[in-house]
Amino acid sequence: MIGTFLRFIRLCVPLALLAPLQAGAAYADSCPEDCSEPPPPAVNIYKHTAAGHLSPVTTGTLPRVYVPNRSSNSVSVIDSVTLKEVDRFNVGSKPQHVVPSWDLKTLWVANNGTGKNGSLTPIDPMTAKPGQQVPVDDPYNLYFMPDGSAAIVVDEALQQLDFRDPHTMALKSSLPTPTCPGINHADFAVDGSYAIFTCEYGDGGLAKIDLKNQKVLGHLDLSRMGMPQDVRLSPDGKVFYVADMMNDGVFLIDGDSFKEIGFIPTGIGTHGFVVSRDGKRLYVSNRGSHKMEQGKAKGPGSVTVIDFATRAVVAQWPIPGGGSPDMGNVSADGRQLWLSGRFDSEVYMIDTANGAVTKIRVGVEPHGLTVWPQPGRYSQGHTGNMR
């Protein structure tokens, strides 16, 4: 039967149709006129940060939440399974953020200090214990070049970016940013060619930084004067989301053209961002106050959930009894959203399925906490901007 069928094909199908297939011609060459090439796969910069994508480097690390207590000069360590504080140790002056290193082997505590009195404290995630402090000028925040070639210390008070060895933190070069007072948070273009930083003080605005040549490409004044805070890139790599604490919402920025394209109202004191494990939603922390420091406890803090695909608000989760949600991240499985309560000396563990909140007491003025381990191939800094 098979032989008869093949002979039928040879006799009945025109050679003109068989020849392209026999010659291995491309699909488009033999396709009818109404056929088109399949679309290219959609870009998703968070595809490696989904649940189950833990790097082998993180094998054996303790499941912990590390909380820098800015006014207590300490770090609280919370067991993310029992939801209990299991340790608290002293670090340098004014710890602001706990930052996973690019190679995922170290957690760095950015001790902001005052000017030249800053430092970085390394934490070994295998033991959850601190190491010896490294003197570093004014480390408000810490990022890493997308290729891991350098650490970028954000010198907020000194208005500059310091490019340092990512392991020893030895200074390599500095980039003054005089047009960006209070240079603050950042995220990186999908190709790693540039970064957009927020300028917290003055009239508020953004700075675009050429990473390869280490120069300022431009400054963008937002349509409303405010106080921009955290930055996060959309999954398709096209739009930067910018939290603004004074305007109570999120500006949308086209990174390549460096233009403002929209605004999403969220809540009072819009401050920080966390991306869901499936990369579909953006958790926005609204601190409930427009004050940078010494805000009122038990304020109208909340979390807004934005759908990336539609840019619509799909949920609003108030903190029961009031609170001041700040910075944080999600657990490896995506079921827990962890945020510090800046003015309430507490941390919030929020169930991402329904917004239910558990509160845990920590030190005074907790700020940029991180959850560890997190999925991803490498860290670009902050509290775990993973890729």
Summarize pLDDT for 146-174 with one digit per residue, the tens: 999 999 999 999 999 999 999 999 999 99
Give the span between the Cα atoms of 335 and 81, in whole angstroms.
12
Q: Does 43 fall in a domain?
A: no
Give the span between the Cα atoms of 125 and 133, in whole angstroms.
16
Summarize pLDDT for 316-375 with one digit per residue, the tens: 999 999 999 999 999 999 999 999 999 999 999 999 999 999 999 999 999 999 999 999
Give the span between the Cα atoms of 253 and 230, in whole angstroms.
13
The average pLDDT across 215-236 equals 97
CATH of the domain at 214: 2.130.10.10
Q: Does 38 fall in a domain?
A: no
Sheet holding 160-164, edge to edge: 141-144, 151-155, 160-164, 171-176
Look at the block and give the residue holding tokens 């860290």: 379
Q: Does 30 fall in a domain?
A: no
Q: What is the pTM of this model?
A: 0.89
pLDDT for the residue numbered 31 = 39
Q: Does 1 fall in a domain?
A: no
pLDDT for the residue numbered 309 = 97
pLDDT for the residue numbered 43 = 86
pLDDT grade, residue 27 (50/70/90)? Answer: very low
Q: Does 217 fall in a domain?
A: yes
CA dihedral 11, 13, 16, 18 (to 10 degrees): -100
Count Cβ neighbours within 10 Å for each residue of 229-250 and write b for 16 or more, e otherwise.
bbbbbbbebebbbbbbbebbbb
Q: Does 33 fall in a domain?
A: no
| CA nearest to 155, candidates 116, 121, 105, 107 | 116
Q: Does 294 fall in a domain?
A: yes
pLDDT for the residue numbered 333 = 97
Q: Does 87 fall in a domain?
A: yes
pLDDT for the residue numbered 6 = 39
CA 102 to chain centre: 13
Q: How many domains does the chain have?
A: 1
284: domain range? 51-372
Residue 2 has pLDDT above 80, yes or no: no
Q: Are 263 and 292 in contact (CB under 8 A)?
A: no
Look at the block and give the residue holding tokens 């033999």: 30
Summarize pLDDT for 245-258 with one digit per residue, the tens: 999 999 999 999 99
pLDDT for the residue numbered 37 = 58
